[in-house]
Amino acid sequence: MADNHGNTPAAWTAVLVALVGFVVGGIGMSVSPLNWPLFWVGCVLVVGAAVVFMVLAKLGLHESGH
């Protein structure tokens, strides 16, 4: 396993964005009646986390700090 596995700014940022997406989507599914727009915003945030990771990795923020 690489030294930087999950310990980079790119990884942490992507995880935080995905976590926010899951929370937003979960809130959208928890309210009554079901709030579909809020659920889909959460889904977009989760997919956006992958995009954020790829952009930050291309900018060099997925490199080992050693």
Domain boundaries, the chain: 9-58
Provide the sign of the torsion angle of the four alpha carbons 45, 51, 54, 60, taken in this order. Answer: negative
Given the structure tokens 């992507």, which residue do they identify? 14
Question: Does pLDDT of 59 surpass 90?
Answer: yes
Q: Give residue-wise pLDDT tens across range 30-57.
A: 999 999 999 999 999 999 999 999 999 9
Q: Helix count (H) and strand count (E) of the chain?
A: 2, 0
Model confidence at 20: pLDDT above 90: yes
Q: How far does CA 23 lie from the centroid of its chain?
A: 11
Residue 63 is predicted with a pLDDT of 79
Residues 16 and 20: their CA atoms lie apart, in Å, by 6
Query: Taking all residues of the chain, what is their mean pLDDT, rounded to a whole number?
Result: 90
Q: Please say if the pLDDT value at position 64 is more than 70.
A: no
Residue 6 has pLDDT above 70, yes or no: no
